[in-house]
Amino acid sequence: MARSHTSGLSKSLILKGLQCRKALWLTRNPPAFELPPQPARDALFSAGTEVGILARQLYPGGREVPFEGLSIPAQLARTKELLASDVEVIYEAAFSFSAIFIKVDILVRDGDSWQLHEVKMSSAVKSVHLDDVAVQHYVLNGCGIKVSKAVLIHLDRSYCRGEELEIQRLFHSEEITTKVKARQQSLPEIVIECRQTLGEYREPAIPIGPHCTDPYQCEFIPYCWRQVPTPSVFDLPGDAADKFAFYRRGLSSFAELPLAELEPRQRQQVEAFLNRTRNIDQQRLKEFLARIRYPLCCLDLTGVSTALPLFAGTRPYQPLPFLFAVHRQSSPDDPPEQVSFLAEPGRDPRSQLARELLAAIPASACVLTCNPTVDRNLLSDLATRYPELAPAIEQRLANLQDLLTPFRNRWIDDWRMNSVETLSDVLPALGIDLPAPVTALTDEGAAQRAYLACQASTDPAQQEQLQRELLSYAEQNGLTMVRVLQELRNLARH
């Protein structure tokens, strides 16, 4: 690998170095390793950009220094021109000091000083945000720019949208000048350490740890974690800090873990894998199945939350259900009858979805789900939103059960099964091989992104394709739930 000899830094590189020096080095010296696509990360960046542009309306009439189409020297020159003019607000102003390049989201003139405004799509000020603004403040001071105050602009989760977004209420501005200045003293040393890291000839020997996902999930996880065996200590339930403690002792694979130091459920999982065994608590499985009665509905419900509220009566990051598939049976011998619903693009899905769901699920039906906490919250929100439907919704909620209970509690403990979070986690334990997927949507995150893409699209053909894939995704999940229940009944007969 050819090592980069550039010692120039940016705000993002410094923040990367604060999280992990190895990640900083790899950013400048990409490994000979094909990193997989990261659509969730890309979508997050796009959403952040959208929020940042919207926040400019808090200080309208400003002039932008675009990143695209201008070289860094040209951006610096353009910023210098605007500072010397009578412009009151500058968007994306560019500065460089001590070979550190930054862009300021919003710069507002304040007499002979300037206010620094940083926009984040979070709903509160976080420690990493203070580091972020501290770097900007440091560079501005180095450039001779007097900063009268530093402000973090973030979303206000208490804001409830009307027919149109009210920008002044959507955002909350919090002055952080004192906190930012308190971090200035350590910045010169941090900059030196970052440059030393970039100057290293070899990749820094930094082991994986909690920093891989804190404060942000690192894009190099697939590379840095490639030596972690499957399964490993990280596939066990329990506290992540305890798992890293094992890893730092050189204990990663199941064969290396000291059984005496594991929690009971962890030990049960490890022993099952090492001995290639399947243990079934027949009594508890039968008791669970006895609580499942007919009529029966297997429910796959999908929701999405966005930084910017999409519809009237919604808040930032409020989860909204937009898709469901119900497979209902009147008796165990009846073939499942399928009912599905997908919200139309550009329309608040909640009212129609609530009514369609109530029509699909009989009031007396037992309702099986694989995500009970999320589904309860989604349905409870609908009951609050539509009081006239609340009694009917509460009746369905009272009948809700978790299909994955036998697996979460390890009443079915198969060596091929790791910790259980989703429906797909239990399929190996049951020997279920699904047919070839009829949709490219393989998980909830992909379905959420497809729904948002459908909302944003103006191409009817693209919308139709996305709608077909979303319905196929939900329907396949529902059929898989039916199959899992059948296998559970088969196990209980043995």
CB atoms within 10 A of CB 469: 18
> d(Cα 389, Cα 412) in Å, to the nearest integer?
38
The half-sphere exposure of 487 on its side-chain side, counting CA atoms within 13 A, is 20
pLDDT at residue 1, as a whole number: 47
Taking the model in full, what pTM does it have?
A: 0.93
Q: Which residue has the higher pLDDT, 1 or 252?
A: 252
Helices (H), 312-365: 350-360
In this predicted model, what pLDDT tens digit does every residue of 230-283 receive, in sequence order? 999 999 988 877 899 999 999 999 999 999 999 998 999 999 999 999 999 999
Token reading at 129: 């945000």
> d(Cα 252, Cα 262) in Å, to the nearest integer?
13
pLDDT at residue 241, as a whole number: 74
In this predicted model, what pLDDT tens digit does every residue of 474-484 receive, in sequence order? 999 999 999 99
Cβ pair 328, 365 in contact under 8 A: yes
Please say if the pLDDT value at position 5 is more than 60: no
Token reading at 154: 């973030």
Kindly list the domain boundaries of the chain, sorted by start residue. Answer: 9-194, 284-493
Average pLDDT of 146-157? Answer: 98
Average pLDDT, the chain: 95
pLDDT at residue 37, as a whole number: 92
CATH class of 284-493: alpha beta
Cβ pair 322, 342 in contact under 8 A: yes
Largest CA distance in the chain: 83
Please say if the pLDDT value at position 438 is more than 70: no
Enclosing H/E stretch for 340: strand 337-342
pLDDT at residue 4, as a whole number: 55
Token reading at 259: 């059984």
In this predicted model, what pLDDT tens digit does every residue of 341-368 receive, in sequence order? 999 999 999 999 999 999 999 999 999 9
pLDDT at residue 282, as a whole number: 96
> d(Cα 116, Cα 133) in Å, to the nearest integer?
8
Q: Which residue has the higher pLDDT, 328 or 241?
A: 328
In this predicted model, what pLDDT tens digit does every residue of 115-142 receive, in sequence order? 999 999 999 999 999 999 999 999 999 9
Q: Provide the CATH topology of domain 9-194.
A: Lambda Exonuclease; Chain A (3.90.320)
Please say if the pLDDT value at position 336 is more than 80: yes
